[in-house]
Structures are given as C-alpha cells and as structure tokens.
Chains A and B, each alone.
Chain A
Amino acid sequence: MPLSAEERREIEAEFPRYPTRRAVCIDAMKIVQRHRGWISDESLEDIAQLLEMSLDELDGVATFYNLLFRKPVGRHVVLLCDSVSCWIMGYDRLRERLCSKLGARLGETTADGRFTLLPIVCLGACDHAPAMMVDEDLHRDLDPEKAEQALENYK
C-alpha cells in the first residue's frame, strides 16, 4: 500500500523545519507507524523514495531506534520499563503478572492481536516507579493489580 495522501501530507509538513529531507526520516517513519502500527518493507521503500534516501540507509536508521517497529505489532503496545529504578521497585512481579494475564512473553503479541508486550529502557518516571507505557500513555506507581486494571481500558 503506497503512502496515503494524509501520511504524505504529514511528512511533507515537516520539510520546512530542516535544511535536508533526510532529517525528516525518523519523523516520517513515526508518522507511518502511527497510521499503520508498524513499518513494512513497502512503507520503508516509499519513505526512502520520498526522502531521496537509499533503502538500506533508511533501514539502518529504522533498526537503530527502539520505538520504530519493523515487525507487525498488536493494536496496543505495552512498554514495560526494566531499568534500575523500576526493577528495584517491583518490575519482576509486574512482568510476571502481565505475561500470565496476557498469555504472552516479552516481545510477543497476544493471540487476539490486542497487545504486544515489549520491554523498554528507562521511561524517565523513576520517581514513580515502576512504570509502563501503553501506546501514548504513561502509567506510574504501578503494582500488578493496577497494571492489570490499566490494560482494561485498551480494547
């Protein structure tokens, strides 16, 4: 599926802010990801073409960043912080609960395609550890019950 008119418009809106087109590439991939959940080879090709980059160059960038997904993900992405402050404040219990609740291990998508559970490095919420992000939302001061409850709002 080629870039939609909307995607293209959003990407092109970024152009005036930078002296080069390629500076937009991370934004462009985020835009496509917001619309489609992830960045397929085809999307990558379309973006590369629009930004006048080579495919491997763009893929090199795509595979460098944690939040750009080159594989399909569920409707909602759960990012569970596993860095030090969250770990000492109960990450392990949180993970165990979420994994068993969702029936998915870290890195996996639930059978119903609702959630993809991913580990993430420090979310900068150390003062309210442990924390997780679901899509755009940060959830803090969690315990297994609160985490489980939080997921209920994502259908």
Chain B
Amino acid sequence: MPDVNITVDGKKLAVPAGTLLIEACKSVGIEVPSFCYYPGLSLQGACRMCLVKIEKMPKLQTACTTVVTEGMVVSTEIDEVRQARKAMLELLLANHPLDCPVCDAGGECELQDMTFSYGAAESKLIDIKNHKDEQQWSPVVYFDRPRCIMCYRCVRICGEGMDVWALGTANRGSAQLIMPNHSDYLECEECGMCIDICPVGALTSGAYRYKTRPWEMKHVGTVCTHCADGCKTTLGVRRSPTGMQIVRGDNRDKSGINGDFLCIKGRYAFDFASHDHRIQQPLIRREGRHVPASYDQAYEHIALRLKEIREQHGGHAIGVIGSTRTSNEESYLLQKFARLLLGTNNIDHHRTADFPSFAGALARKKDATASMRDVFNAPAILLIGNDPTEQHPLLAWQIRNNVRLHRARLYVVNSSPIKLRRQAASFTQIPAGSEPQLAAFLAGDDSAANALASGEITREALAALRDKLRGEPNLIIIFGSELRGSSIDSLVRFGAAISGAKFVCLGDYANSRGAADMGLYPDLLPGYVPVGSGARFHEEWGAPVPTEPGMNLLQMVDAAKAGRLKALYIVGANPVARYNLDPFALSKTFIVAHDMFLTETALLAEVILPAANAYEKSGTFTNTCGDLQLLKKAGDITTVKSDFEMLLRVADRLGFDLRQLVPFRQAERADLGQSRGAQSGEADRHAIWLEAHGLEPKLSPFDPIAMLDEIQRLVPGYDVSRVELLAGNDQHTSIEAGVASSIASQPELILPANDTLFTSGTLGRYSRTLNSVIENPRRAPADKADREVVV
C-alpha cells in the first residue's frame, strides 16, 4: 500500500497506510501524551490525553484511535489541545491522592511526569477525595484503588498479553475499579506485568514496596539467571553493609529480547542472592565438620590435594562437573582448566537437552537456528513437546503475541493439553512418549503413525498436518527434550525440506546452551568439536590435551564408587539432588564445590568455595535459542567471589601460568585517560567501542572479556558483533559443527528440569518470593495439585 501524506504541526510526513496518528506523530519526534494507549495492546480511547486537533473536524480527536488519512492536517500543540490535556490532568488528580512522597511510583510516575509537562500546579478541588483502602491481592501484588487512573493497561497485559485474564473491571462510574479474578484476591501466573505496566502507583510489588526510592538505586540491565530464555532484567541495586543488595527487578529497559515481558522469576526471584543461608566464607571439612577458612587456606588445600592426585593417579582420576548457570567464560575456562591443567576429559554437566545431537543434525542445514526475536516474527510455528507457559515463559509470550499481533499460525503437538493450545491453529494430542515417532512420521516414515493415531487423531489427520507444515515456508520448529538423538536428526531432515525453516531446541536453566556450546562434555570441545579433532584448540592452548573421550557424569559417579575417581571438582551444580545420587558413592572422593548454598552436593565436599551468582558477575550467557547476551555485574558482595576468579586462583596455586589460561595480554594498549575523565555516559560509550575493537587493555586475567576474546576466536558460531554485544544487545550465535555422525550423543543423561513458573531448580528453594507464592493459602488447592513442585 502506498504511504499516506499528512501534516503534523506544520511538518509534512509520509507514513504507511493504516498507521495510527499517535504513532505517526511519534515517528517524527512529536510526543502525544497518553495513558491508556500502549503499543501492542488493544485500543481504549479512555484517557483522552491524546486529543489533537484535526482540520475539518469540529471536536478534538484521540490520536490513539485515529488512523491517518491522506491530506490530514493535525495540530498537537495549539492552545485548545494544551488546555484539553491540562484539564484532563486536573480531572485525574481530583480523586488521585497526592501521596507521591511515599508512593512507590514517585519519581517514575507517568502521571507525575505529565502533570509536570502539561498540568496545573494549583488544585481546584476543595471537596473530599474518594477513598478506598489498599488491598493485597497476592504475595506480590498490591492494589491501591485511589491511585488508579483506569487506563486498563493491567487488564489488557494480563488478558491479551499473558492470556491469563485475571483482571477485570467492576462497578461503574467513579466507583469503578479494577477487580482480580477472585474479587478480593488474585490467582494468576504472578508475572507482575500489571505492576510494571501501571503508569502510576496503583499496582505495587509486594517484594519492593516501601523499600527505597527509585533515585536511590543504581539500575543495572543484565540477563535473568533462571530459565533458559534469557530475558533482560533491570536490577535496582542499593548499597548495603555487605556491598550491595538487589531490591528490585523489572523490565524498564524494553530493548531486550523480552520487550515488555518478565515472569515472576525474572522480576522477583533475585532474592535468593540475599538469603540468610548463603555461604559467606570458604569451608574446609576437618574431622567431619565444615569449618571456616580463609580463601588462601582453601586454595592451598585444593591445590595440594589435586596435585597429589594428579601425580599419583593421573588426570583420568579427576572429574569436573560444570554448571548451567555460570557464564560462558566460566564454562569455557572450566573445561580448559580440566583438559589443559588437570589433564582430563572427565567433564560433564547437568544436561537438559540434547544439544550435541541438535548440532550434529544441523550439519544438514546451515544457519538454521531461530533467535528468540525470530519466534515473535515467524509466519508459522510448530511446537513439539514441552510446556513453554511453565518452562519457557518468554518463549510462550513470543509465540502467543506473534499469533495475536501477526496472525502467525501455531501448530502444537503435545501429549498434554498445554495452555498454548489456546493460540494454536491446530492442536494434536499424541500419546505420552510418542514424540520420537512423530519426528519419524514427519520425516516420512508413515509406519510411525501407528504409535500416534488414536481417537480423533487419525492417520489422515496426521498426514494432513504434515502436508500443511510442508507448505509453511519459514516455519520455526521448536522442540523439547522429548526429542533426543536420532529423533532430532529426523526432525531436522523434515525441516530441511521446508524453505527457510529454522529450529529451536529447548533446554532448561539460564546457561544450559552456553554450557553445551562451551564444551562441558567428555567427548566434545567447545563448539561441539570432538575431542579428537581439536587441532585449533591445541594450537591456541600451546600444550597437549587428552584426545580420548572422558567419562560422563554417571560414569564418573560409578568410577568414584569403585574408587577409581579420586577427585571431583564441582562448580555450581547439584548432581546429587538432580540425578538422585547415592551420597555414599562419593564418600571416598575428594570433592571441591563452588556454590552459594550448602546443597546436597556441597555438603559432601571437602572444600566449599562461596560463589557469586550471575547477578554478581560480568560475562555472557547464551539462551536456549542461541542468543548471546551480556551479563552486567549489579555489584560486589564482599564475602563471595566469582567462579572465574576462584578457578584462576586455584590454577595459580597449582603453579600454572595464567597467561596460558586467559589470554589477557594479547590486546593492544590504548590511552584511556581522556575518555575516562569525561562524564560517565561518554566514558561508557568509549569503553564499549574500545573493548569491541580489542583496544581496551586487559591488564587482568580476571577480566572475563579476555576469555570472551578466545571464545569468539575459537568457538564456531560465536563470531558475533562485539560492539552490539557490549552495548547490551542480543547477538544470535549459530551452531556450526558440521560433524553429525561422529558425535556420540547420550540421551539417557538428559534430565529435563520440569520447573514450573514458580520453581527454579535449587535456586528457587532460596527465593522467599517464589516460596511465598507456592505456599500462598489463597491459591486454589486444585491448582496447587497440578503444579507439581520439583526443587
């Protein structure tokens, strides 16, 4: 369609037909104020703030509901319009309490800002304001009716955006109010989006309210450390006696892959970081008891024992277990530490998806992974297995809103009637465990239909589904851990025949994909390169590393039980709980654990090092789609250290040359004096540019960016734009293994987390907020039952 020409405040502009006037104005920098208008949500025309003058129309018109027409002449700054805005604010403030000094939204309130811009300071009202007492709707949501301006954003984000529909309106006129689904309490996904989207302080957060003022916080944009979707979350950080305290999480920075979205975990479950049970100092077990020690004592102890074991029994007597929640740099360093320094390929992690098979299968189809942003824009999506609403809340949001806003066609195949079926153009329920047969059927094996067909799902229906999918160019195929090994190969074979098809393999935990990409496997180097074919790594590392595959996690446990594995170095993992291991199997093994809490695994360790979590460190995370994002440190906690630092300190004690582990001297020097002296915004900008161009001197081996240099150089698919990455933008990595057949996938080791919206592995157990929601007595018992809590 040709563009439409309009004039706004004397400026001539051409915008696509169908554009709303408010958006057209925005495109040339003319701000038309509004409360109820919110991009991506249905139109309301309720707040009347966006009234503008359109020539030939007697009354002022709402810019949010007016579609541009050819030749339209609009005025947004004439007296009549300014007066209308001013009066609207006067009317709004009539019953709005002026409790700004104690209101959570004070300083971040759109009503304040608008009153500042357009309003009148003098109130004409001399009557008593209407009042209604505040209500607590859930452990995390409070509602203050007098502050509510009835913009209905919360109602729409909950219904249209989340498909939860827990908020509605009740009563009429000045008694009208927002009402939760149980009239005085809320039963919902507790995502808190209603709070974030509230332009005033009507909806406030149980976790944050009355804790601080917004200007007393530092706001740090980083990546959520819970599920594998990688939402950008902005942490509100305040100084505290221990260094810093995170007091709030929100998504005020909408530039992330999650746009407006955050779930309960991203928003509230940062509180594990300040849990009382957090380990505050290194512990060494002496005479059966863990006693506090200094860091130096701990490093010394670890180095002594490891050296002894390596010398007496060789590297193969040592095992390493990495984490799904440490940064890419830490995982990369850990596998390098294991292979180069300990001389072992006995390295593994808690696998939640079969990424190696996925990488192998993708040898057939280059550049075929979809980013999280792609999921929002794809014309069609096939979802096999998983329940994204519970396990991948952002992915579910992207799918849902793609369907709603772009009319994408969603095909769901699942053994349960998952919630996303409500958005699906087609929902096919197959018997539990028959997902591999589905993959085979899609790939052309008609006999596989026997295991799938039942009831309404006939062979014909399945064939029709397959035909339909084959006719969906640019289809995104998303699959859960139900598909492993050769099934993934089948699925990719099916997708390879569809033009533009892309894939997403769903793993759990914030950096599972990173752990896999960084080579936390006994048989795979970073980038899914088999240990026997790692010439370029060997060259870079400048020393021989073992080329025979090592033991996987369960084999290591067996070896420990048999007395063959003498040491186990565990970073940020709880295999004892995850794999339900017999603790006595590890009783003869020297165990080191980096952890935040005394988990079932940490309790078995001889030395425990208190670890920083993802909010307390810098580095990068890769989400399940392969989107690489920057972690920004919210601040330092004085009593803990990052895994990166602690590993290096242990390596140092082992007498290893750190330059071999971290290429920290390879960058050129640059004079930063001038830019550092400038104001901070400029300095940050300069630093990003310099770092991106390798000019920032990495004077310290403890700088994870130095490790990122090596990752970007050596790991296939990670050669993304450094400027973009460091500026906080997501960068999609690709999988470029190209060696499908040689990778031995071990599907039996894959153990999906089965987290719900309110659990998050071990971390979730230490979140007061998550627990308060799970234990909330006002949640319906039935609902509790079907949300099985796995910790």
Contacts and interface: CB of A to CB of B under 8 A. Distances in A.
In order of increasing CB-CB distance, the 9 nearest A-B pairs are: A56-B168, A63-B170, A56-B181, A60-B168, A63-B171, A60-B170, A64-B172, A56-B179, A60-B169
B179 A60 contact: yes
Interface in B253-282: none
Nearest to B183: A59
Contacts of A55: 181-183
Interface residues of A, number: 9
Interface string A86-120: 00000000000000000000000000000000000
B171 A64 contact: yes
A63 B168 contact: no
B54 to A, nearest CB: 32
A41 B166 CA distance: 17
B63 interface: no
Contacts of B166: 56
A57 interface: yes
Contact of A57 (B168, B171, B172, B182): B168
Interface of B: 165-172, 179-183
A54 B170 CA distance: 13
Contacts of A59: 168, 170, 179, 183
Contacts of A54: 165, 168, 181
A70 to B, nearest CB: 10
Nearest to B167: A56
Given A54-B168, A63-B172, 16 more contacts: A54-B165, A55-B182, A56-B166, A56-B170, A56-B180, A56-B182, A56-B183, A57-B165, A57-B168, A59-B168, A59-B170, A59-B179, A59-B183, A60-B168, A60-B179, A63-B171
A115 B414 CA distance: 58
Contacts of B168: 54, 56-57, 59-60
A56 B181 CA distance: 5
Contacts of B167: 56
Contacts of A63: 170-172
Interface of A: 41, 54-57, 59-60, 63-64
Nearest to B181: A56
24 contacts: A41-B183, A54-B165, A54-B168, A55-B181, A55-B182, A55-B183, A56-B166, A56-B168, A56-B170, A56-B179, A56-B180, A56-B182, A56-B183, A57-B165, A57-B168, A59-B183, A60-B168, A60-B170, A60-B179, A63-B170, A63-B171, A63-B172, A64-B171, A64-B172
Contacts of B182: 55-56
A48 to B, nearest CB: 11
B157 to A, nearest CB: 16
Contacts of B181: 54-56
Nearest to A66: B172
A121 B494 CA distance: 67
Residue of B165, B166, B183 ringed by the most chain A CB atoms within 10 A:
B183
A108 B167 CA distance: 31
Contacts of A64: 170-172
A134 to B, nearest CB: 24
Contacts of B172: 63-64
Contacts of A57: 165, 168
Nearest to B175: A63
Contacts of A60: 168-170, 179
A82 to B, nearest CB: 16
B184 to A, nearest CB: 11
Nearest to B177: A63
A59 B661 CA distance: 65
B156 to A, nearest CB: 14
A13 B171 CA distance: 28
B389 to A, nearest CB: 18
Nearest to B179: A56
A56 B172 CA distance: 14
B30 to A, nearest CB: 36
A7 to B, nearest CB: 22
A29 to B, nearest CB: 14
A63 B168 CA distance: 12
A57 B170 CA distance: 8
Residue of A54, A55, A56, A63 ringed by the most chain B CB atoms within 10 A:
A56
Residue of B166, B180, B181 ringed by the most chain A CB atoms within 10 A:
B181
A59 B176 CA distance: 12
Nearest to A44: B183
A39 to B, nearest CB: 13
Contacts of A41: 183
A131 B66 CA distance: 44
A56 B560 CA distance: 58
Contacts of B169: 60
A55 B168 CA distance: 10
B613 to A, nearest CB: 38
